[in-house]
Chains A and B, each alone.
Chain A
Amino acid sequence: MMLPQRLHKLFTPLIQPLLAVLIGLLAGAIAISFVGEPVFETYKAMWEGAFGNFYFLTSTLARATPILLVGLGVALAFRAGVFNLGSEGQMVLGAVSAALAALCIPGPPVVKLLAAIVAGMLAGGLWALLAGWMESRFKVQLLISTLLLNYVAVLFASYLVAGPFQDKTGSAALAQTPMIDQGAWLPKLFPGMSVHMGFVIAIVCAVVLIVILKYTAPGYEVKMLGLNPFFAQYGGVNKVKLLLLSMFFSGALAGLAGSVEVLGSQYRYVDGALTAPGFAWTGMMAALLANSNPLGTVVTAILLAALETGAMGMERNTEVPLEVASVIQAVLILFISAKLTLKLVKFRRKEREVHGTV
């Protein structure tokens, strides 16, 4: 294949999300001019806040880490044709399990670290698997069960760190676990900068996911299952098994997002520290914006993280409030929901056809 063609193939999936971001920025510009501030200056401040110097750049990447991991998980589920709206719960359970594993499992720090990561992924994966199992066993719609299980998970985690595993050493009784042994921390990539090893893990996960989806038989089957489940079944794909597997790994990636956030930046599970910044929902947005393309998700995750860190920078240096970032995000969500509605309509139509022929 010729090089331009390759480049073309590589960039086509990026055109749509970038266009959406562009229109989002335009909407933001309108909002900024309402506030009466110069648009260009404001966006410049935003850019500086996200990528202005090495420190800001690494902060953006640090923020992108959990977003990217969650996004990859959502993208995987979406590729298999299911909505996993439960990333938040899966992430939180992963985070609290990782923290507890690092605290409770005896052994050298490396063992603690690995055990924590495995525990986090298992917790997230099993939580997602529960929803998948309910769908295949009792026909409980994933869309609903995953969403509702979020509340269960988040509140259960709150209970754990406000009750049995609360850190009682400090004077203020915050809802958080004790601090993890320093040896079990994920190392920072650069001294003094917030980006940690978790970012590398996330990128590795993205590459692995790309390779699996593109070059392997299970990846092919997942893709076909997502594009047309009837075709996949006809060809001998075990729909239930594959669906459960996809859900498990989707949840495991969300769990990993929570784990690396705990092990690489907070060093303990703090109640609300993962839910307040909305990592899970931003991650979902990243995946949907990128059309569930893992490579695209890397780009959109960093972009969305930059939007958030940039907005903080903007607020520091201009009179424009942080909420402008929300305006831009809202426009992006509009884009995504329009696309999703179309997909859902198509899906329904297909279902209708099936019932028609049988």
Chain B
Amino acid sequence: MAHRLEMRNMTKRYGEFTANDNICISLDQGEVLAIVGENGAGKTTLMRMLYGLEQPSSGEIILNGKKVSFSGPQEAISRGIGMVHQHFMLFYDFTVAENIVIGHEPKKYGFFRRKAADEAVQKLAEQFKIGVNTAKKAGDCSIGEQQRIEILKVLYQGADIIILDEPTAVLTPFEVDGLLKTIRFLADQGKSIILITHKLREVMKVADRVTVLRNGKVTGSVHTSETNADKLAQLMVGRQLQKLNERDSISGDILLEAKGITIGQKGEKPELDRVSLTVRHGEILGVAGVSGNGQSQLIQAITGLRAVQEGSVRLKGQDLTEENVLARRKAGISHIPEDRYLWGAAKDATVEETALMGSQRNPKYSEKSFIRKASFRTRVKDWISRFEIKTSSLQEKAGNLSGGNLQKLIVARELDFHAPLLIAAEPTRGVDIGAMEYIHEALLEKRNSGDGILLISSELSEILALSDKIAVMYEGRIAGILDRSEATEETLSVLMAGGKQHDATAKTS
């Protein structure tokens, strides 16, 4: 049988640079094909060509046995190809139903038929078992719901082939499970899915076949039944990944002591409810939890970005509760923020300016408040070579760096303060495996040198791999603190879902 879709010998060159080199993929009806690769491997370029956003330098696309070429997304959509982008394209003030039918609204005498739209969307949602509230405003929907709206929009437009670009990057673990189920269900209904990702666990769970890209070339194309995550990782990175080993506890004196931190308006349920934790020298304290359970507030309370109503923050015995961000940074806190675009950088600032934050008044790099750019540049260049940050120059805008490269820049900046305490929030979110490994190693190295790290992450695997101790947050409270030895994915999951510590340990023992 002919394939539903085939892309043959696709090549895309930008000047000297070859983004896609002779790539071939095929996709059958009812199949889930995962395309994996590190950032910059060429996944997105390939999909942009399929979706009509880019024209291939050479190669051909064969859809249902016929050769096609798309000059724009409209043509791709009309031929049954739909794409759910990583960044959603919704009108926040429109309802869910309106967002889904947009561009193809049911009309009568040129007037929009709201009720018909609602019904059509309801029917579609039921058919594909995708739960949405059609009357809600899109802006009030959670990230997971917004994604479901996007998927329904694509289905409404009649897509048979659905491209999902990094769909799980923004989701909580529960939402990820739901999405994977939806994907599987869509495939069972005869839809063909292309899943672009670099999360191998999800690939192994949901995909039928995997095509691995590296540096614009296909390095492997296999059935998931015949491979495993380690093999895929090797194909992606081109070398064996190191396993993080067991290690001895080297924890020393108390470094950070947070006591009874409470944040919230009077009379309302507090966002952060009497949270206490300690981080010792030479220790990584992991904070696990589904995002939105008070982790952001905890970070902001410790770094001084938000005032606390109750409680205290001490670093090496020094009371910092009333101090501002600058004083806390000076006292020895560095901070990899959870959202690199919101807190960690300014998109329109240059790479150099992004790197300078926090050092602009350091006597080493400024003299009588004039910044010594020359000596600072040497330092940034050192980071760029050490962390293999890909940027065209120091004057490149930070927003033009890929997510992973910007993250590496931020990590390098914060590590180079050599502060005794590092707060690392989602340090590897949206970062490819190679960079992830590098960042993890850097964190461990810092811990081994006797510094303390507060690691906040919604990736359980990351928490488990790095932490000496693990605190779980649930609804603004610490649900339990476990030792590295007693923590497993199961015990943590129970606590993350609101179970008691006792249940968690009882269940596994």
Chain A positions within 8 Å of B, measured between CB atoms, are 215-218, 220-221, 223-224, 227-228, 230-238, 350, 352-354, 357-358
Contacts and interface: CB of A to CB of B under 8 A. Distances in A.
A215 B356 CA distance: 12
Interface of B: 92, 139, 271, 296-297, 303, 305, 324-326, 329, 335, 337-339, 342-349, 353, 356-358, 360-361, 366, 369-371, 373
A238 B304 CA distance: 11
B421 to A, nearest CB: 15
Contacts of A221: 360
B364 to A, nearest CB: 12
Contact of A236 (B337, B346, B358): B358
B343 A230 contact: yes
A353 B366 CA distance: 34
B345 A228 contact: yes
Contact of A238 (B139, B324, B357): B324
Nearest to B340: A231
Contacts, number: 78
A220 B356 contact: yes
A100 B345 CA distance: 47
Contacts of B305: 233-234
A84 to B, nearest CB: 20
A357 B346 CA distance: 17
Given A233-B305, A238-B324, A217 B369 contact: yes
Contact of B326 (A218, A224, A236): A236
20 contacts: A217-B360, A217-B361, A217-B369, A223-B353, A224-B346, A227-B349, A228-B345, A228-B349, A231-B345, A231-B346, A234-B325, A235-B325, A235-B329, A235-B358, A236-B326, A237-B325, A238-B324, A238-B326, A350-B342, A357-B339
Contact of A234 (B335, B366, B369): B335
A180 to B, nearest CB: 37
Given A217-B361, A236-B329, A237-B325, 20 more contacts: A216-B369, A217-B360, A220-B360, A220-B371, A223-B349, A223-B353, A228-B342, A228-B345, A231-B345, A231-B357, A233-B325, A234-B305, A234-B343, A235-B358, A237-B326, A238-B324, A357-B338, A357-B339, A357-B342, A358-B297
Contacts of A223: 349, 353
Nearest to B358: A235
Given A220-B360, A221-B360, A223-B353, A234 B337 contact: yes
A131 B344 CA distance: 30
B346 A228 contact: yes
Contacts of B358: 235-236
Given A228-B347, A236-B325, A218 B369 contact: yes
A354 B325 contact: no
Contacts of B325: 233-237
A221 B342 CA distance: 16
Contacts of B326: 236-238
- Interface of chain A, helix or strand or loop or mixed? helix
B353 A224 contact: yes
Contact of B296 (A350, A353, A358): A358
Nearest to B142: A356
B342 A216 contact: no
Contacts of A232: 357
A108 B342 CA distance: 55
B346 A227 contact: yes
A350 B338 CA distance: 15
Contacts of A231: 342-346, 349, 357
B215 to A, nearest CB: 30
Report which residue of B305, B325, B344 has the largest number of chain A beta carbons within 10 angstroms of its beta carbon.
B325
Contacts of A350: 342
Contacts of B348: 227
B483 to A, nearest CB: 30
Contacts of B353: 220, 223-224
B356 A353 contact: no
A135 B361 CA distance: 27
Greatest chain A CB density within 10 A among B324, B329, B346, B356 is at: B346
A211 to B, nearest CB: 9
Contacts of A353: 342
Nearest to B335: A234
A47 to B, nearest CB: 36
A35 B344 CA distance: 56
A224 B373 CA distance: 16
Nearest to A234: B343
B371 A216 contact: yes
Nearest to B373: A215
A233 B348 CA distance: 16
Contacts of B296: 357-358
A350 B343 CA distance: 11
Nearest to B361: A217
Nearest to B395: A9
Contact of B342 (A218, A227, A230): A230
B430 to A, nearest CB: 15
Contacts of A224: 346, 349, 353, 357
A222 to B, nearest CB: 11
A349 B426 CA distance: 23
A80 to B, nearest CB: 13
Nearest to A211: B370
A287 B335 CA distance: 36
A237 B329 CA distance: 11
A216 B349 CA distance: 15
B151 to A, nearest CB: 20
A215 B370 contact: yes
A220 B335 CA distance: 20
Contacts of B349: 223-224, 227-228, 231
B347 A217 contact: no
B370 A216 contact: yes
Contacts of B271: 358
A237 B327 CA distance: 10
Contacts of A357: 296, 338-339, 342
A224 B345 CA distance: 9
Nearest to A226: B346
A358 B345 CA distance: 18
Contacts of A233: 305, 325
A354 B306 CA distance: 13
B297 A217 contact: no
